[in-house]
Structure formats: C-alpha cells, structure tokens
Amino acid sequence: MGKILKVARMGHPILTQRAKEVDDPTSLHIKGVVDDMLATMENLGNNIGLAAPQVHIPLRILLFKIPRKTNNPRYHLTPEHDPDGVPLTILINPKLTLIGDETIETWESCLSVPGLMAKVSRHQSVHYSGTTPEGKQIERTAHGFHARAMQHEYDHLEGILFPMRMTDPSQFGFQDEILKHAVGQ
Ligand code: NI
C-alpha cells in the first residue's frame, strides 16, 4: 500500500518545471512512487489523473483512469466524455503526438488548482505511448475526453497548468459557481 503524498498547488515552482526522464521504469523506486501516486489519487477520490510533479516528484510519470460513468458533476460539463471509460493507465516517459487540427473547448479542472475551472481547447485526437512499471509498452490512439485527460496530464510533465492554456480569461472561475450556472450547457 502506498503512502498518501501532499499535492502541490499552483504557485509551487515544481509545477512549472519540465520533469526529468525516468532511467529505469521497472525499478523498485519507481514502483514505490507509482504506489504512492495511486494511494494519493484514491485518498482524494473522484479524480481522473495525476502526474508525478503534482506530488513533488519531478519525474516523467503520469496516470489516469476514466470511469465508465462518473457522478462527479465537474465531468458532466465535458460533452466529449468517453462513455466506455479507460482502464487505469500508468505511463512512464510518455510520448504524445497531436493528431489533425480538430480541437474542442470545454471545462477543465486540476488537483493542483483546487476549486477553479477554466475552458481549455484541446485536440480531439492524439496518439500516445509510454512504458508501464512492469516494463510493458503501451501505444494508443485516443479521442475526446480520453485525449483531453492525456493532454492535461502530459502538460504537467512539461510544467504547464490548465490556466496557462486558457484562450478566454472570462471563462475561468470557481467550480461551484460555474457548475451552478452552467447546468444544461
Ligand atoms: Ni492536473
């Protein structure tokens, strides 16, 4: 069982640095880091993903899990939500390629930017790859919410937080206000 780690919040410099490549994705040390990230995610509940810099570890590790259905109203605002979900995906040293020109703009939130949301434009389709802690290679093409989650988590490894992706600062605010007023959008 992993340890619950403290989540870095916007303003902490670790969140705006480029994370470093992992030398040995299958090492015990990395397995421990991943276990701690999973325990931290589970403890916080109802979240889609986490990147290592968010728990003060400047390494290129990210994970996400998209449930088939979520009761978190934050995600009801994302029209491209993938109804099938995506199983827990752990990627070390991931690579990301954006596909085509099609983008979708919708609400995003982040554990490191608690309480806030902004509309962010993301590519509809991406291709990504990476190594698992077991040393397996994963390679996938993703669309919609799956692609958005990957782009958001990958951004953390590049030192980018979602408010830095905003194109319209008027579409930025407190989650509870936005959810109260955006119902049906
Ligand atoms: Ni985030």
* Distance from the alpha carbon of residue 111 to the mean position of ligand 1, in angstroms: 6
pLDDT for residue 67: 81
Q: Which residue stretches of the chain have pLDDT < 50? A: 184-185
Q: Length of the chain in residues, anyone?
A: 185
Are β-strands 49-51 and 137-143 bridged in parallel, bridged antiparallel, or unpaired?
unpaired
Rounded Cα–Cα distance for residues 6 and 9 (Å): 9
Rounded Cα–Cα distance for residues 54 and 9 (Å): 8
Q: Which residue's structure tokens are 């996938």? A: 140
CB-proximal residues (5 Å) to ion ligand 1: 110
How far from the centroid of its chain's Cα atoms is residue 80's Cα?
16
Of 21, 80, 153, 158, catalytic? 153
pLDDT for residue 74: 58
* Distance from the alpha carbon of residue 162 to the mean position of ligand 1, in angstroms: 7
The pair of structure tokens assigned to 21 is: 């490549």
pLDDT for residue 122: 97
* pTM (predicted TM-score): 0.92
Rounded Cα–Cα distance for residues 132 and 138 (Å): 7
Number of helical H runs and strand E runs in the chain? 3, 6
* Distance from the alpha carbon of residue 63 to the mean position of ligand 1, in angstroms: 11
pLDDT for residue 71: 57
pLDDT for residue 182: 72
pLDDT for residue 183: 56
Tell me, yes or no, if 42 is annotated catalytic.
no
Give the DSSP H or E segment for 63: strand 61-66
* Distance from the alpha carbon of residue 153 to the mean position of ligand 1, in angstroms: 6
Rounded Cα–Cα distance for residues 175 and 47 (Å): 14
Strand partners, 49: 64
pLDDT for residue 70: 56
